[in-house]
Amino acid sequence: MKRSPARAGLAGLTGIALLALTACAGGDPLSEEADAGGADSGSAVVIGSADFSESQLLATIYSLALQDAGVEVEEKFNIGSREVYIAAVQDGSIDLVPDYSGALLKYLDTESTASSTEDVIAELEETLPEDLTMLEASDAQDKDVLAVTQETAAKYDLETISDLEPVAGEISLGGPPEWKTRVNGVVGLKEVYGLEFKEFVSLDAGGPLTMTALTSGQVQAGDIFSTDPGIAENDLVSLEDDKSLFAAENILPIVRTDTVDDTITTTLNEVSAALTTEDLIEMNGRAGTGEALADIAEDWLTDAGLR
């Protein structure tokens, strides 16, 4: 369990992010008992997630593992982007959420150039605000990759992201709406690689909208998650991030500091130790067929010897 000093500037985002809560997909998951304060007030530990399937799957795994350990939990999944769910942990609307190390670091410190797992975790230890605690990071990673079809790769002779520089003006880029203003998104692609695309099309966070737009030709390059089985299924080309814009993305639980206890720490650290990238790819494949996330999570916990 690691705690770190606050980074100036994050608090200012909280008020802005909370204004977006009512815009989250599926309604406002924080509207009921939003000020319950989680474990702080003796109530259930409230587990949140981002608004994409893998985050909800990880949150389900956390939820079931904690219930098996005797912890009372409440689930408030599908909250929204990092800008919203980190603010929700800080204000006590939720108590914990799964996150990704590199993207979280870029959110907290847009100037960070850390890339390796070791460097990213070390900087997070220094950057994470005091009211947030990160538990042990998993070896499992899910990174952003810039993907193109085989046809696009052949047409423009693309192997690396740098290869896009002379042709980006002919190409439409697809990704989640927040990518337009993120350093590990459109901003970084311009600043680090010098890429100015013909247009940016707001789609979803590495989900079916982006995959469909990419494979149908609506966009020629798209932000896809590295654990998406659709990359292999659709024979896509993941362009090499030759300037290390996209940092290591080890999965780790982020917990409100005054919620942390030995049971939560031990239980979730065991989950992190057992989880692998290959597990994520397999589970995402099952989720893509419409299988219930709870069933997938139960099977994984059983196979991992955690229940």
| pTM score, whole prediction | 0.77
Q: Domain end: 238, 256, 276, which one?
A: 238
Which residue range is the domain that position 64 belongs to? 2-141+248-303
DSSP letter (8 states) at residue 63: H
- Judge if 94 and 159 occupy the same domain: no
Note whether 102 and 248 are within 8 A (CB): yes
- Judge if 26 and 83 occupy the same domain: yes
- Judge if 150 and 131 occupy the same domain: no
- Judge if 133 and 281 occupy the same domain: yes
| Cα separations in angstroms, 34 against 67, 150, 162, 261, 264 | 21, 47, 45, 22, 21
- Judge if 105 and 92 occupy the same domain: yes
- Judge if 226 and 267 occupy the same domain: no
The average pLDDT across 3-32 equals 41
- Judge if 12 and 132 occupy the same domain: yes
* pLDDT higher than threshold 70 for residue 68: yes
- Judge if 124 and 99 occupy the same domain: yes
Domain count, the chain: 2
Ranges 30-44, 132-146, 167-181, 267-281: which has the least confidence: 30-44
pLDDT digits (tens, 9 = 90+) for 256-295: 999 999 999 999 999 999 999 999 999 999 998 999 999 9
Any domain includes 243: no
**Residues contacting residue 261 through CB under 8 Å, at least 6 positions apart:** 39
Pairing of strands 96-100, 251-256: antiparallel
- Judge if 41 and 156 occupy the same domain: no
Any domain includes 33: yes
Any domain includes 155: yes
pLDDT digits (tens, 9 = 90+) for 101-146: 999 999 999 889 898 999 999 999 999 999 999 999 999 999 999 9
Question: What is the reported pLDDT for 28?
Answer: 54
Q: Domain end: 238, 272, 290, which one?
A: 238
- Judge if 228 and 255 occupy the same domain: no
CATH number for position 160 = 3.40.190.120
Any domain includes 177: yes
Q: What is the dihedral of CA 272, 274, 275, 277, to 10 degrees?
A: 120
Q: Domain end: 184, 205, 238, which one?
A: 238
Question: What is the reported pLDDT for 253?
Answer: 98
Q: How confident is the model at residue 182 (pLDDT cuts 50, 70, 90)?
A: confident
